[in-house]
Structure 1
Amino acid sequence: MTTLTRTRAKARVAQDRYRRLRRRAIGVRARLAALEEELQESRQLNRRITELVDVVAELLVLVDDRDEERVREVLAQYRASI
């Protein structure tokens, strides 16, 4: 089989896959529902990141002030919340 023949065969396979995918009826409502679900997941992750940033910022201030007891308190509160 020549390179040209193999390339044409691969192109036919790719075209066939593309046509089959295009025939699938993915409605606007299904796509919208999927996007809304992903958006909600993104919001939850962003909220979690924000909480972590707050804890780290608070710990950095406490460590800088050398308040070891308060550092332990904050860490304990954080561990209890997760």
Structure 2
Amino acid sequence: MSANPQHVTEFDPDSPDTQPEGSLQALIARVEAEVRELQFPGFSADDALNLGLLLVELGKERGLPIAIDITRGGQVLFHVALPG
């Protein structure tokens, strides 16, 4: 039987109360891990177009009033606003 990992209560940025010790550090570690995981090894203009069109398709299917803006180094690679 394995030991239970230590449970840390989620950090709540909207709470005026004192936060449990370690909760902010746990949140920071989780966000940093997500950033590392979500990094692309490369990202071309074609990649931006394909991603943008996929998001447009999903947004239309779901009837979402969303704006999609994909930039790289200050250059706009894809931009659209769906109605709503």
Give the alignment's TM-score, normalised by structure 1.
0.33
Give the alignment's TM-score, normalised by structure 2.
0.32
Which one has the bigger helix percentage? Answer: 1
Which one has the bigger strand percentage? Answer: 2
